[in-house]
Homo-oligomer: A and B are copies of this chain.
Amino acid sequence: MLFNYERALKIMDKYNLEALIATSPENVLYLSGYRSLSQWALRGVPVYAIFPRDGEPSLIIPISDLDLYADKPSWIKDVRCYGVFYIEHYEKESLKLSDSEVRLAELMKKVKRGKSALDLLVDVLVEKGLDKKKIGIDEIGIDYNTWLYLKNSLPNAQLKPAFNIFKEIRMIKTSDEVELLRKAAEISQKAVETMLESVREGVSELELAQIVEEVIVKEGGRVFATVIGCGTRSAFPNALPSSYRVKKGDIIRYDGGCTYNDYYSDIAKTAVLGEASEKIKKYFKAIAIGTEEALNAIKPGIKASEVFRIAVEAVRKNGIPHYKRHHCGHGIGIECYDKPIIRPTDETVLEPGMVINIETPYYEIGLGGLQVEVTILVTESGYELLTPKTFDRELLIV
C-alpha cells in the first residue's frame, strides 16, 4: 500500500482531524491506490478520496474512469460516481467473463451515483456524521468556489487546508513506496550513465537528452524533466537541451529524472570531456565533499537544518569560500519535492523511512555548473543510497 495508514492516524490526532479528503491527483492516488486517467490528463476533473478517523473510507470518481477501478480495485470499497458514460453488456450464457469484466458489469449497474462530485462529497460527509467535525481538505485540488460551496453546505464543519498535512504523512514512506523510488532512481541512473558513455566532441545537448529519454522509456519510466547543459551553459540551473555542441574541456551537467508508476527520481551528475581546468577540478571537489559530508551526517535524530549547515560549511571549507545556497536537498516521493527540505528553516528531525535527495550544486555564469545529486533512504543506523552506486567523489572525465 502506498498510504501510510498508521502514520495518517497519528498525524490526524496531532491536528484533531476527524477526516482527511484528498483532492489533487497525487494525494488521491497515494491515499486510495486508484489513479483516475481523466484527473491526471485534464485540469479540473474532480476525484475525491475521503478517509475518516473512524469508519469506512470512500472514493468519488467520474463514471468514465470506473473501468480502472474495476480492473485494479482500490482498498477503498465504497466507490461513488458522477457523470455520464455508456458501456453495453453482451449477455450470452456461453461467455466467460474475467473477474475485472464481471466487476465492471456489476459496478455499471449498481454503483452509487450522484449529480456531481461535489454533491456526492457533501452526501458522504453528512452520511458519516462528519458535517459537524474538523476536516482536513487538500486545498490544492479545488478552487475558491468549490471550497466556498463546501463551507456553505457544511456550516457546522470546520474545514482546514490539508495539502501540507498530506505532505507530513507522506514524509515517512511505506515499503511499497521505497521500492518504487528505488526503481525510479535505478532507471535514471542507467539513463544518465548511458548518456555519459556517448559524450564526444561535436555531440549536441539535444542528442544527449535524446539518449537519456530513450533509456528511461525503455526501462519502463516516464520522463519528467531533462536538464542538460554543456560548456558554460551548464551554469543554467534548468538548462534546456539546445543545439550547442560539446567541445574539449566542456562540463556536461545532467539534472532531472523520471517517474516510475508516478514516483519520482531526480538525480544529477557532472562530467568533463577531456581535461578539466584547475578551477573546475577544485570547485567540483568542494561540492562533492559538501554532498559527502551531508551524507555522513545523515542518521535518525539530526535536523534537516543541521544537515544543510554541514553541507554548506563543507563546500566553503573545501574550495568555494563564497558558496551560497537556499537548500541542499529535499524529500522525494509521489511529488518531486516532498518534505523535509534540507534548508536553514526546516527543523524536521530525520526519521527512518524518509527518502531524501542530497545536493550541493554550484552555478557560475562564464564558468559553468557543478552538481551531484543522490537519493537516500534514512535507516535506523544511518542511510542507504537508493541510486545504485556510490556517488562521484571525483569529477568524471569522459
**Interface digits, A321-339 against B, CB 8 Å rule (1 contact, 0 not)?**
0101110000000011100
Write out the residue numbers on chain B whose beta carbons fall within 8 Å of the beta carbon of A365: 87-90, 97, 101, 104-105, 108
A197 touches B (CB below 8 Å): no
State which of A128-136, A219-227, A300-308 sits at the interface with chain B: A219-227
A337 to B44, CA, bound (A): 11
Q: A238 touches which one: B67, B95, B322 (CB < 8 A)?
A: B67
- Size of interface on A: residues with Cβ below 8 Å to B: 77
Interface check A98, CB cutoff 8 A:
yes
* CB-defined contacts of A227 to chain B, threshold 8 Å: 37
Do B363 and A88 touch across chains, with their CB atoms under 8 A apart?
Answer: yes
Bound-complex Cα distance A92 to B364 (A): 12
Point out the residues of chain B lying under 8 angstroms from A64, CB to CB: 237-238, 326
Shortest C-beta distance, A173 to chain B (Å), equals 18
Q: Decide yes or no whether A232 CB sits under 8 A from chain B.
A: yes
Instruction: Give chain B nearest CB distance to A190 CB in angstroms.
Output: 15
Interface string of A69-91 (1 = CB under 8 A from B): 01110000000000111111111
A-to-B contact residues, CB < 8 Å: 24, 26, 37, 40-44, 64-65, 67-68, 70-72, 83-92, 95, 97-98, 100-101, 104-105, 108, 139-140, 142-145, 147-148, 161, 163, 210, 213-214, 216-218, 220, 222-225, 227, 232-233, 235-240, 242, 322, 324-326, 335-337, 362-367
A222 to chain B: closest residue by CB: B223
> What residues on B are CB-neighbors of A148 within 8 Å?
144
A40, A71, A365: most-surrounded residue (chain B CB, <10 A): A365
In the complex, are the beta carbons of A163 and B44 less than 8 A apart? yes
B325-A86 in contact (CB<8A): yes
Contact yes or no, A235 B101, CB < 8 A: yes
Cα of A387 to Cα of B67 in the assembled complex, Å = 28
Report 13 cross-chain contacts, Cβ distance below 8 Å, ordered by A residue: A26-B43, A70-B236, A84-B326, A86-B324, A89-B364, A92-B366, A97-B365, A100-B233, A101-B235, A104-B236, A139-B145, A210-B218, A216-B217
- Other-chain contact of A326, B86, B240, B364 (Cβ < 8 Å): B86
The residue among A43, A100, A104, A242 with the most chain B CB atoms within 10 A of its own CB is A43
